[in-house]
Structure 1
Amino acid sequence: MMAQNLPLPPDIQAISGERPLALFLDFDGTLIDIAPTPDGITVPPDLAARLTSLAEQLEGRLALVSGRAIPDLQDHLGIVGIACAGSHGSDCRAADGTPIGDEPDALSDEVLHEVGAFAAANGFALEDKPHGTALHYRANPELEEQGLAFAHALALQHGLAVKRGKRVIELVAQGADKAGAVRNLMQFAPFAGAFPVFVGDDITDEDGMRAAVEMGGFGIAVGDRPSENAVYALANPAAVQQWLHL
């Protein structure tokens, strides 16, 4: 269903007043506006403090679940004391930085070389991550078909998975998704036994929403897009921040 046909979510204070609430939030396109390049985002200087305050209100049951690597998130936010799952859930850490689950190996030098050479030859912007690599084509949307064909062929050859986002194609280890991040975090305090809500704007967020639904919660889609797993929608990051009372 298209997100614009979904209702607004109930007030967050009403939800958390009924039962312990666990919030899982995507970053780009959900908490902040998407930029033409990954480094071009504008992060409000007090966003980290506001998120930390929200996490305290939820007794620690707040996690950022992003396609970005955790060090990248920290560079932009300077945030500590909040659980994070980076690289599409492949790197999951508790609020104190303790790893949760097994950390996957980095992509091989052979794969990184092939992707780098392809990006340079075909006009993609390359983003290397600790547990994957990404081909951005926001400046050239017509590159999508060529990028997908290359990524799927390489993934098949090396036993990897392809993740799609808004004008980005990523190669990651098999099993790295946001559903795994939600399930991992929900096994441990303070998340265990809480009511999970996943908020996200992109295709990869559907995995996180699906896991939230499986555990008795729900998903909130951000922006005007189709969603198979959301039951509520918010128009944009500004609406998300307003709903969160940030």
Structure 2
Amino acid sequence: MTRSAPPHELRLDHVALFLDLDGTLAPFCDTPDGVGPDARRNGLLRELARRLNGRLAVISGRSIADLDRILDNSVLCVAGSHGLQRRDARGHVMAAPVHPGVQVATDAFDDFAAQRPGALVERKPLSVALHYRNAPQAEGDVQALALELARATGLKLQLGACVAELVTLGADKGQALNAFMREAPFMNASPVFVGDDLTDEDGFRAAVDLSGYGVLVGPPRPTRAQCRLDSSAAVIDWLAGLLEAEHLTLECVS
């Protein structure tokens, strides 16, 4: 059953919380390495995981190793590389095999970045990303190159905030949420997925399909999410508020 609008509140003892990282739990930085541990955020996540009896997971485009670095190992259940890597509540890690096209795309992105000051290539275990936050004038060329490479290699193109990423096929954030929801301690809970960009739409869809809710972070835009928070700072304040309540309050998208 899909609901068009959330109730005023959900009981914490029946919620499973799924959180994106960049743009959601942490503000964007000029470079991916600029995002690091934050004592307040990571302390909140540890306590929330305890209050939710483990029903908390971070689902991100970053690798699991990078998530553990940034979150200071505060979250056990994580999915990295857009769901291609996943660590479950038992600590078991599963990962898809690397697509051979990733190296082809990496070489092409390296050549492009060498000629575009400000462009940055981020290597990941199962994908490669070309960031242009510091070279916004290159957006059209970045996206055209990424589309050409996706067609040539068979990799999946994912566009985000000032980034084009070519990803090994096999999973997305929605599939990662579904995998967690089939396992303890997430089973039979109401999923709430919080994220900011286009790659999070799969997570919103999966949550709604399981009678849960999507929460968009940032300005209003067309989305599958039914609820919205203004910024990553608002997300942290919202999470802090959950620790003081016995329920989870969601506000409808206006």
TM-score of the superposed pair, with normalisation by structure 2: 0.85
Aligned-partner Cα distance in 1 for 2:228–2:181: 23
What's the counterpart of residue 227 of structure 1?
222
Aligned match for 1:61, one of 55, 63, 67? 55
- 1:1-246 aligned within 5 A: 14-17=9-12, 20-41=14-35, 43-100=37-94, 102-105=95-98, 107=100, 108-123=102-117, 124-245=119-240
Cα deviation for residue 34 of structure 1 reads 1.1
Flag structure 1 segments of 5+ consecutive residues without an equivalent. Answer: 1-6
Stretch deviating more after TM superposition (109-118 or 154-163): 109-118
Percentage of matched positions with identical amino acids: 43
1:111, 1:236 → 2: CA distance? 32
Task: State the SS of the aligned residue for 1:238.
Answer: helix
Q: Is the 8 A contact 1:83 1:97 kept in 2?
A: yes
Q: 1:49 to 1:96 in 2, by over 3 A?
A: farther
Give the deviation of 1:41 after TM superposition. Answer: 2.5
Total equivalences in the alignment? 236
Deviation at 1:170, TM superposition (A): 0.4
| Conserved 8 A contact 2:58-2:75 | no
Deviation at 1:80, TM superposition (A): 4.6
25-34 or 110-119, which deviates more:
110-119
Change (3 A) 1:111 1:42: closer
CA distance in 2, matches of 1:227, 1:240: 20
Structure 1 length-normalised TM: 0.88
Structure 2 unaligned segments of length 5 or more: list them: 244-254
> Match of 1:4?
none
Instruction: Write the deviation string for residues 26-67 of structure 1: whole angstroms up to 9, x where unpaired.
Output: 111111111111112254224223201101111111000111
Q: How many angstroms does 1:244 deviate by? A: 1.5
C-alpha RMSD of matched pairs (Å): 2.1
Amino acid of the residue matched to residue 142 of structure 2?
G
Q: Is the 8 A contact 1:221 1:227 kept in 2?
A: no
